[in-house]
Amino acid sequence: MTFSHPLLKAITASMLGLGIAAAAQAQTVWDMPTPYPASNFHTENIQQFANEVAEATGGKLKITVHANGSLFKANEIKRAVQGGQAQIGEVIISGLANEDALYALDTVPFLATGYEDSRKLWQVSKEAVEARLAKNGLKILYSVAWPPQGLYSKTELNTIGDLKGMKIRSYSPTVARMIQLMGGQPVTVQAADLTQALSTGVVSANLTSSATGYDTKSWEQLSHYYDIQAWLPKNIVFVSQKAFDALDQPARDALLKAAAAAEERGWKVSEEKTAWYIDQLRTNGMKVEPAPAALQADLLKIGEQMAAEWAEKAGPDGQAILDAYHKLK
């Protein structure tokens, strides 16, 4: 039979269209809010993860990444996934520290200052973090560390006294605590709002990585980068357990496989790009140096105090994790 009549042709075409629509309905689409810009290495890694999931499932599971706090702001993302307004998301673990001291572990200053130690710290704390999030119906897919955190300033710093009263940008409760102990005034600003906060003079210093300094073109507002290597905070990519359970087995497998690959790739890129990021700060005119010895010594002391504070807050569970970490080191 041929469809030469125009009407028949139209009917056939619309039936084909219906077929395509039915296939599209079999597709699961997940919204993925993330806090950092599209060009950030975490976000690029997430986009690749999403592409791999789409490919491995033959387009059946599509993850739409909404970067830079565009769908939900950094501090709303966990709740959005918990509440089912999004299915998958990314947060920085230490951003959750008001919920549980455990989440602050990777921002205890100078506890783990390089990639190797940071991996060990994750190794000993992962299960506990997973268990906390599971109570909220959330499942961790993978975690990746940021480069070591440094101190950015508009002015030269020689001693801790130079920070007195300075408005310093913070991204988590532990960072705020450190700033307080440094004599500064912490101001919470999410990464997506950082450039504006710096250019309007809301803050004149910042504690973050070379990566975020590069992402936000910190050299336009800040002149000094002190490479104090205070800690390597980690992001997690997590999914609603309910959304995960609703997938068929091949899609679950594809998701977990892509997540494992993203974790490995993410840590590698983070470590490999650190020197490049620092170089970019320098090339763009920032003065990049280690902190003067007196300042670094005072920062280390603050780190010791914060480690003690953390251990007290985190109780015996926290102490057990710390013990396991020191044994591994």
Binding-site ranges for ligand PCA (CB under 6 A) = 92, 146, 149, 171, 191, 208-209, 211-212, 233
DSSP state of 292: P
Nearer to ligand PCA, 60 or 78 (CB): 78
Q: How far is the CB of 160 from ligand PCA (least distance, A)?
A: 22
Q: How far is the CB of 15 from ligand PCA (least distance, A)?
A: 52
Nearer to ligand PCA, 212 or 296 (CB): 212
Start-end of H helices in 241-292: 241-245, 249-283
User: CA torsion angle for 247, 248, 254, 258 (degrees, to 10)?
Assistant: 10
The span from the CA of 176 to the CA of 253, in Å, is 39
Nearer to ligand PCA, 203 or 239 (CB): 203
Contact, 170 vs 188, CB < 8 A?
A: yes
The span from the CA of 114 to the CA of 146, in Å, is 10
Q: How far is the CB of 37 from ligand PCA (least distance, A)?
A: 11
Q: How far is the CB of 211 from ligand PCA (least distance, A)?
A: 6
Contact, 303 vs 111, CB < 8 A?
A: yes
Residue nearest to ligand PCA (CB): 209
Q: Is 30 exposed, middle or buried (0-12, 13-18, 19+ CB in 10 A)?
A: buried
Q: How far is the CB of 225 from ligand PCA (least distance, A)?
A: 13
Nearer to ligand PCA, 191 or 251 (CB): 191
Selection from 178, 188, 109, 106 nearest residue 143 by Cα: 106
Q: How far is the CB of 191 from ligand PCA (least distance, A)?
A: 4
Q: Helices 293-328 and 115-134, interaxial angle, to 10°?
A: 60
Nearer to ligand PCA, 149 or 221 (CB): 149
Nearer to ligand PCA, 40 or 57 (CB): 40
Neighbours of 254 (CB within 10 A): 21
Nearer to ligand PCA, 87 or 212 (CB): 212
- Measured in degrees and rounded to the nearest 5, phi and psi for residue 180 equal -60, -45
Q: What's CA 236's distance to the chain center, in Å? A: 6
Q: How far is the CB of 210 from ligand PCA (least distance, A)?
A: 8
Per-residue b or e along 61-74, where b marks 16 or more CB atoms closer than 10 Å to that residue's CB: bebebbbbbebbeb
